[in-house]
Structure 1
Amino acid sequence: MSVSVFIDITFSEQTLELRSYLKSLGAEISEENSEGGLLMDLQNIIEASDICWKEIKDETECEMVFNGIISLILLLPIEEVEEPTILFCQKVSKGDKLPAVRLKVLSNLFNALDEKLPFRLDVYCSMVRLAGQSETLHYVNTDLAQIKQWIKMWDIKIVKVQNLLRTLHQAMIETKMSESATKVMIELLGTYTEDNASQARDDAHRCIVTCLGDPNTYLLDHLLTLKPVKFLEGELIHDLLTIFVTGKLRQYQQFYKNNTDFISSLGLSHEQNLRKMRFLTLIQMAETKKEIDFATLQEEMQIGPENVEDFIIEVLHTKALKAKIDQQQKKVMVKASFQRTFGRQHWQQLRSILENWQPNLARIRNSLRSLELVQSAQ
C-alpha cells in the first residue's frame, strides 16, 4: 500500500488519512477523528504508530509515515508541541527494528523544531540513546562545544544538563568512543559544586573507570582535583587512581594482589592495566634520567631481555616519550617526555620561562626594526 503525501490539506484531513492508514495496518485506532481536538487526534496517532515498525517492510514508506506525523506536530500551536514531541520520541526511540529510519526521523524532528525550544533536549537525548544502542553515534553531532551552545540556548536546569551528559557518555561507551567519553564525563563532573559534589559519587566512580580503561589516556592527575573525585578519598577506587597518577608498576601489582575481585568488578583488564602502568613507570623514570640502561628497564618493568626494545618502541609510538635506543651500550637515551603530573611547581616553572621570553622577544623585535630602518635608508 502506498502512503499519501500529506500536503495542501487541512490538519483534520491529514489526521483522517493517517488514522485510516494505521487502521489498515491493524492498529487499534478509530478511523474517525476524536472529539478531543487536534492535539488528542495527534496523540492517538502517535500511540498507534507502533504498528508501523511491525508491519511496514519498506524503509522509505515507513519514514514517510513518521515524517507525516512530524508535519502534524509542527502545525500545532507552540504551547501544545512539547507533549506530542516527547511521546513521539518515546515511540520512535524504543525498538531494534529499522534503527537507521528511527534515527533519521528523530533527526528530522530535531532539525524541524525551533532551535530555541528547550524540549529539543528530549529529542536529542532520544537520538543519542538510539544511536548508542545501534552503534550509529557517528551520525549524531556530539561536539561538546555545540552541545554547550545548545545548553545555554535552551536554558535548562543543571539536573537536565547532567542527564544529557550521562546519556552521551553511555552512548560513547557503547560505541567504543572511549576518548570522547572521557571528555564528556569530565565535563559532567565539572557541573557539580562544593554543595552537591558528594551526590556525584556514581559519576565520579564511572569517570575514573572510564579513564583507567581508555588505552590512550595516560595523564590522570587532573582527576584528583575534581571535587566529586575528592569525596572518594579512602575508597579503593581512589587508591587505584592515585597509583595510576603517581605510583609505579610494583605498587599496582601489590594492589591487584590484595584486591583482585575489585579490579574484576570494575570491568578493567588486568593485562591492559599492567601495560599502562609499565608505560607510566617508564615516563616517570624519564622525567629525572636522561639515560636508562636495559637492565634497569628489565627489573622495573619485569620483562625479559628479548622484550626490552619492543617495549620501548611501543612507548615511543604513544608520543609520550622521545628517545633513542643505543643497542651497543644497551641504553635508552631520553630526549624529552611529558610530565606525568603537572602541579604548582610546574606552573611556576612555565611562568618563569614565559617571563624570560618576554624581554628576549622585545630585543628581537627591536633588532628587526633597526634592520628595517637600515635597509630603508639604503
Structure 2
Amino acid sequence: MTTVVPTSEEDPALAVVRFTSELAWADAGPEVAEPQVNRLCMEAEECMAMNKWVELASLMLTSADLIFSKVAEKDLECIFTVICNLVTKSESPDEEFEMAKLISGKITQQPNDKPALRLKILFNLYNLLESPYSQFHIYMKALTLAFNGKVTDCIVPSFKKMDSFLKEWNIGISDQRELFLTISNVLKENKSSAKDSFKFLTRYLATFSGEDAYKMSEAKEEAVHAIVDFVKAPDMFQCDLLDMPAVGQLEKDAKYALAYQLLKIFLTQRLDAYLEFHAANSTLLKSYGLVHEDCITKMRLMSLVDLASDESGQIPYALIRDTLRINDDEVELWVVKAITVKLIDCKMDQMNQVVIVSRCTERVFGQHQWETLRTKLAAWRGNIANVISTVQANKVTEDSPLATQGGMMIR
C-alpha cells in the first residue's frame, strides 16, 4: 500500500488541484490561467473545510485524461496516490463507495492507454478501502481493465485467492455470477489452461439452481460454451455439467438441444453414438469449432473408461478393439494412452489377451457414484472394525493368566 508523505506545507490534495489546474490552463496564458487556477484551489479548500470528500475527488479528477497524457508515469502514480487516499477520509461505507466508484471510473476510461499503470493504481485504491463491497467493485473494475487493456497477466495470479476473497466480500449470487463469468473470460483472453477457464465457467453455471425459467435462460449460451469447452479440451474427461439445471434446460430447447445431446454422448455413451451423431450433425460440430478427429480421439478414451467401469475388472482385447473401432495391434497403444492421462490403472495380460483394471476415472460423479462410494467406505469401515476386534481379542488372550508358555499351561 502506498503512503503519502507531505514534502511541503501545502496539503497534498490542494497541491494536486493546483498542479492539474495549471496543466489544464497552461495554453490559455497567465491572465486567463491564474484566475481559473485560484478559483479551483478555493473550491478545493472549501471542500476540505466542509469535509465534502466526494466533491473534492470529483474536482481533482476533472483533468484526469490530461494527466494521463501529459504527466510522466512516476508523477502520475504519485498524483493518483493522493487522489485515492481521499477514500480514507470517508465517514461512511456509502461515501467510500461513491468515491471509489468515481475514481475507478476515471482510471478505467482509457483502458488501452498505460493499462498496466492504471491497473496498479486500481490495486493501490483497493488496498486503501475498508468496505468489502467497495473492494469487490474495484476488483471487478480491475478485471474489466485487464481484459480490455490486454494485461491479464497482471491479475491472473490473484485468482488463486478467490475463495478467500469471496469470504471477505460476502457478495450475493448476482455479483458472484458476474465475477465468475468475467474471470472465465479473462482466462480465455490470457490463453491460460482451458481447465482454469472451464472451472470458473462451471462455477458461474452452478449458481443457477431452482430459478424460474426466465432467469435461467440468461445462462443458455454460457452453458453451450461450457459444453463445447469440455468436448474440445484434450485433457478433461470428467465434469458435473449434466447435474446442473442451467445445462439441463438445454435438453428440450429448440436451439440448443443438440449441444446437450453431444454432452450426454461424451459423458454417458461410447464411440459409436458419437459417430452416429456426427454423421447427422457435422455442420453443427464445425460451427462450434470442433475437430472431428480430435473428438474421435477423446471418445475412444472415454469409451475405454466406460468399458473399465462396466466390466468386472477385466476387459478382453477384442472388446476394446470393437468398441474403439481400431486394429488388433492398436489395442495396447490406446490402453497406454489411457494410463498416461491417468484415466485408468491396469495391467495388460498379453497371454490371455485381457486388460486387468484396478482403478478407473468416473466420467460423471453424481448420486449413483456417491452411493457406490458410500457402500465401499462402509465395507472398508467394517473390515477395519473386524481387524481391530481380532487384534484386541488376541491381545486379551496373550495377557490372560491362563496363557501357555513353552507348550505347558501355567495354573
Q: Please, what TM-score do these two structures have when normalized by structure 1?
A: 0.82
Give the superposition deviation at 1:201: 2.2
CA contact (8 A) 1:18 1:45 kept: no
Give the superposition deviation at 1:22: 4.9
User: Deviations for 1:205-264, whole angstroms, at most 9, x for unmatched residues?
Assistant: 3332333333332113x2222112221113111111111111222222232232233223
1:134 aligned onto 2:142 = no
Q: Identify if the C-alpha distance between structure 1 residues 304 and 292 changes in structure 2 by more than 3 Å, giving closer, same or farther.
A: same
Query: Which has more radius of gyration?
Result: 2
Cα distance in 1, alignment partners of residues 141 and 178 from structure 2: 12
Cα distance in 1, alignment partners of residues 363 and 132 from structure 2: 44
More deviation in 312-321 or 354-363? 354-363
Give the superposition deviation at 1:66: 2.3
Cα distance in 2, alignment partners of residues 67 and 239 from structure 1: 54
User: Which one of the candidate residues 91, 103, 110 is aligned to 1:77?
Assistant: 91
| Residue aligning to 2:194 | 178
Cα distance in 2, alignment partners of residues 351 and 212 from structure 1: 30
CA contact (8 A) 1:127 1:140 kept: no
Cα distance in 1, alignment partners of residues 157 and 323 from structure 2: 45
Aligned to 1:77, the other structure's residue is in SS state coil
User: Which one of the candidate residues 282, 297, 300 is aligned to 1:278?
Assistant: 300
Give the superposition deviation at 1:283: 0.6
CA contact (8 A) 2:241 2:247 kept: yes
Give the superposition deviation at 1:204: 2.5
| Residue aligning to 2:179 | 164
CA contact (8 A) 2:16 2:60 kept: yes
Q: How many residues align?
A: 368
- 1:1-378 equivalences under 5 Å are 9-10=10-11, 12-20=13-21, 22-23=23-24, 31=37, 32-33=40-41, 35=43, 37=47, 38-56=53-71, 58=73, 60-78=74-92, 79-93=94-108, 94-114=110-130, 116-132=131-147, 133-136=150-153, 137-152=155-170, 156-175=171-190, 176-196=192-212, 198-199=216-217, 200-220=219-239, 222-234=240-252, 235-289=257-311, 290-292=313-315, 294=317, 296-303=319-326, 308-326=331-349, 332-369=355-392
Aligned to 1:118, the other structure's residue is in SS state helix
Cα distance in 2, alignment partners of residues 288 and 82 from structure 1: 57
Aligned to 1:96, the other structure's residue is in SS state coil
Cα distance in 2, alignment partners of residues 208 and 25 from structure 1: 58
Cα distance in 1, alignment partners of residues 22 and 391 from structure 2: 79
Cα distance in 1, alignment partners of residues 200 and 207 from structure 2: 11
* Structure 1: runs of 5+ lacking an equivalent: none
Q: Identify if the C-alpha distance between structure 1 residues 254 and 50 changes in structure 2 by more than 3 Å, giving closer, same or farther.
A: farther
Q: Identify if the C-alpha distance between structure 1 residues 293 and 351 changes in structure 2 by more than 3 Å, giving closer, same or farther.
A: closer
Cα distance in 1, alignment partners of residues 264 and 88 from structure 2: 53
Give the superposition deviation at 1:145: 1.9
User: Deviations for 1:100-156, whole angstroms, at most 9, x for unmatched residues?
Assistant: 322222111112111x3312211111222333432313332443422330342xxx4
Cα distance in 1, alignment partners of residues 60 and 167 from structure 2: 34
Give the superposition deviation at 1:347: 3.3
CA contact (8 A) 2:96 2:134 kept: no
Give the superposition deviation at 1:163: 1.4
Counterpart of 1:188, as a letter, is Y
Aligned to 1:216, the other structure's residue is in SS state coil
Cα distance in 1, alignment partners of residues 283 and 251 from structure 2: 20
CA contact (8 A) 2:24 2:66 kept: no
Cα distance in 2, alignment partners of residues 178 and 99 from structure 1: 25
More deviation in 278-287 or 205-214? 205-214
Cα distance in 2, alignment partners of residues 26 and 144 from structure 1: 48
CA contact (8 A) 1:113 1:120 kept: yes
